[in-house]
Each structure stands twice: as structure tokens, then as C-alpha cells.
Amino acid sequence: MKRYFIADLHLTPERPDITRAFLHFIKNTANDADELYLLGDIFEAWIGDDGGIPAYQSVIDALQSASLTTALYFQHGNRDFLVGDAFSTATNCTLLAPKYIVNLPTGDALLMHGDQLCTDDVEYQAFRSMVRNPEWQTDFLNKPINERLHIARQMREASKKKGAEKSNDIMDVNPNSVRQALVDAQVELVIHGHTHRPAVHHNQIKAGVGTRIVLGDWDKKLWYLVSDHQALTLIDEPIHPTDPTTLGT
């Protein structure tokens, strides 16, 4: 059984090189996958399925055709928490709960986007509670697409501004929250993205126990984790802006 894990591609029409890299990855790298896990922030900003699906048709089509041979799983990130049932139907992706345990041959693993672990970022957690409230979401999704796009753009700008003011520590996971998440899930491995700090951390529960694998964001490089019967391997590859071999045709 071969599984791939990716997160934080932030797909947007403004970065056609990343969309090409993703289409190439789906077709030529993860084509031997039994399961592919998309762990959030696959899209730069998802304002609802009615606006997102037509805007990302090539990605939707690629996922749909990958689903013929690979089981696809999608977990929400803080940019694409509005991905819904229409996306799931169009792509054949199963939507996962915010915390999901997958049974890997090397041991059970907790999958999360990772934003929930950044508990020192009190402002963000308050924002998260607001936008994850079903009533807020219904109200937002009832607005016209153009208005939603405008709000999303404003929110992205506000987030960039706030991010520049926040310390590195605040933007990273809180070690106690990591430990608690692992203990609550009764597992010794968590796989997440969000922080854009790809690494393998050990001793997350206590000395010698508890591992945290952080997927990287797709920018200059693409990142993916591969799980097979014997190992977990975090891989990065360059994204070539003009390399014809990355054309997703």
C-alpha cells in the first residue's frame, strides 16, 4: 500500500508554475499511489464550491481522473475550509474530519492541517472559531461571488500584514498542544502542514517518544511525504517555472 501526503500548495491562477507542478505530480509521481491525502491549503483561497470549481477546473479534472486509480482524501486548511460536498462529488475526494487517524504500516498517524496546533496565535484562533461556525459560513456563502472574492482578498492582505507583525514562535505550533493532540489520539505520529517549516521532529510526547512530520509548502520547491510498507519519506523537488517536463498535459 503506497500513500502520498501533500499540503499547502496554495494553488492560484497567479502561480501557473505551481498548478503545472501539481498536475505533473498527480499524473507522473503519485500515479502509483493507492491513496493520496490532501492536508489543507491546497487552494490559495476557496470562497465556496460555486466559485471555486469553475475557477480551478483543470485541478478538479485532474483529481477526478486520478480518483479512478487512487483513493483521494481532503482535509480542510485555513484557506480552503469552505470546500464542500460539491467539490467532494466533482473530484471523488472524501472529506476528512479536522483530526483523522490513518493506520500506516509503520504505525497509526494523526493527520491535521496544523493550524489548530498554533494555540499561541490567540488572534488567529479567535478568527478560526468565527469562520468555522456554521451560521457564519451560511451567511458568507449567501453573499454574491464577487463580494466573497473581495472579502477573501482583503482577508489575505490582513493576514500578510498581521503575519509580518507576529513573532516566529507565535506562528509555530505550541509544544503542549502537539503533545496533547498525540496523547488524545493515542498515537505516536502526527503529520501536518500549515507552518511552512518542513521537518521531522522527534521527542514530541517525551524523550524517545512522539514524532511530528511537517509537510512543506509549494513555492520554490514541491514537498510530499510517501508512506509504504517499510518507511515514511519526506521528499522535496524543485519547481521549474519554465521546465517543459512539468507541463501538465
* Binding site as annotated, residues for Mn(2+): 8, 10, 41, 78, 113, 194, 196
Q: Give the separation between CA 114 and CA 134, rounded to whole angstroms.
A: 21
Distance in Å, CB of 54 to ligand LP5, minimum: 16
| Closer to ligand LP5 by Cβ: residue 53 or 118 | 118
229 to each of 33, 104, 221, 232, how far by Cα in Å? 13, 8, 26, 9
Radius of gyration of the chain from its Cα atoms, rounded to whole angstroms: 18
Should residue 3 be labelled a site residue for Mn ion when binding is judged by CB under 5 A?
Answer: no
| Helical segments of 42-93, H only | 49-55, 57-66, 85-91
Q: Which of 148, 194, 196, 212 binds Mn ion (CB under 5 A)?
A: 194
Buried b (16+ CB within 10 A) or exposed e, 77-96: bbbbbbbbeebeebbebeeb
| Closer to ligand LP5 by Cβ: residue 141 or 234 | 141
Distance in Å, CB of 237 to ligand LP5, minimum: 22
State the number of CA atoms in the 13 A half-sphere of 82 facing the CB. Answer: 25
| Closer to Mn ion by Cβ: residue 34 or 157 | 157
Q: Pattern 37-56, binding to Mn ion, x per CB under 5 A?
A: ----x---------------
Distance in Å, CB of 87 to ligand LP5, minimum: 14
Distance in Å, CB of 1 to Mn ion, minimum: 27
Nearest to 248 by CA among 11, 71, 49, 3: 11
Contact residues toward Mn ion (CB under 5 A) are 41, 77-78, 194
